[in-house]
A and B are shown apart, each in its own frame.
Chain A
Amino acid sequence: MLVALPGRVLAKVYIDIFSPFATRLPIALSPFKNTGSQPDTGNTAAKMGAVIQQDLELSGFFRVLDAGAVTQDPASAGITINTISWDSWTMIGAEALVTGGISVSGSELVAELRLFDAVQRQSIVGKRYFGRTEDARLIAHKFSNEIFKSLAGEQSIFETRIAFEKGSRGDKEICIADFDGSRVETVTAMNSICLNPAWSPDGKKIAFTSYADGNPDLYIKDLASEKTERVSHKKGINITPAWSPDGGKIALTLSLNNGNSEIYILDVATRELERLTDDPANDVSPAWSPAGDAIAFVSSRTGSPQIFVAELPGKKVRRITFDGSYNTSPDWSPKGNKIAYAGQQGGAFNIFVINTDGTLFQQLTHNQGKNEDPSWSPDGRFIAFSSNRSGKKEIYIMRADGTGQKKITGGAGEKTSPAWSPSIK
């Protein structure tokens, strides 16, 4: 009897629980409050909450809960750890809670934003931002990024920007907007045609082509100093720039020999040129691999334009795309395993993604206008592109699997050739 007993008592039981698939974190946003003495005439508190809600929903990782379902009066809801009515948030299933208090004084804005673990009732991150009322969106995006960093453990796209061409046929300038299309700024004012914006890897400069001097030459604009410098004005075209990952070089398309375009690599400091491709057919639109060891480009060497990859040390070229009659605008994913491009199939232009070894190509846009110029977000989770599905060309963003397509630009002029900025630190 006694001998048998210990064996029974010592046996330890483990229950195995496998995680459910594809769950989104239920997160609640307590309505942001005006904690200052002056009235919030611009409705800044509500606007900031809306920006954060939009960011979280866009990411695809969160389920933003309806704060209206909370029985308490939102206006009296506490925003600090000791004043929050925790039960009402856990009742609706919130795992995380965001609270905000702002105070406005003239054009000055102070925002206190907090993120809590609503189950453990612990604070995750809390920040007090000082800015101007017109920075409210920026501050909201910054805190969205804090939320994402704290929970997902990585940088979000919420503080990134997108450069693009804006204008009409004979007059295009380069503009920059937040990734959600707000806060548009025009960065070139050349009263000319400016094309092909490309961010430097540090996010401080933009290379682009401009006809300001009559010829399509390559320029670099320093965003902080506002200085513009012409870096390549070879006879013929100087177009489709792409910065190397270390920022020291720019791959571009030149047509030095009788109008036949080839890919060259320009050393930004010394202005020395190295020729990458050599083929009687046209080669354009280079895109660096994130490791800097290969360049994807478009070539018509096999007849119709297709995507090719040149390995850098040996300049060995291999073809990537075989489907479709007209594949252009490659952009290499930040993780290095995929290339996005615009392709024509049956008369329609759509965005595709293909593995860099040429396998598993996937169509991301379907039956909605002409879709062109894909550009990856720095986290590799999103792709920006242009589409005329609304009647004229605008910039759209979508998740890298094609879901969540969303127009981010509006107003006058066509917008084309989006370039997603690096993560701005």
Chain B
Amino acid sequence: MRQVSRSNTKAFEELYTRYARRMQGFFIRMLGYDIAKAEDFTQELFLKVYESRGAYEEGRTFSSWAFSMAYNLCKNEYRHRDVVEIHEQELNYNSDVTEEPAFEKVYDRAVFENQLSISLSKLPADQLAAFTLRYSEELSVQEIARVLDCPEGTVKSRLHYALRSLSQSLSMYNPVKP
């Protein structure tokens, strides 16, 4: 990042190669599996990284800095377009279909994965962010607290609520391991 702040294009390319996929994966989950939008947001995020390369605090990991910017982009998106509401409406429609699955399908792993992604999308944005950063990106609670700009206790309670609501919504699905 020090090299990037000196307008080194090669260093920036290296940074992009390392982190673009991670960031895109985060956006895919946070924006309700909208791939095109996730691609746009990844591009926008790295544009912002390049523009604000001078404001980077040394000593802080790049991933936590980039994730905090990514989370802010998502929050803006929720605020401006009410993505959550629209997505919830779509999910309600989908959940009607999978509410009472056939007996043999209950044990299908694919159905479980589908239901899990639906349940994840139903989580509030702050809980989903905490869940993704903790269990998918494997960041520490301290780092997540920095990314989400909240105390560590809040992160823990968000994780707790997210896990509880996921276990409740997926209690009737029992996948068979492949």
A and B found bound together = no
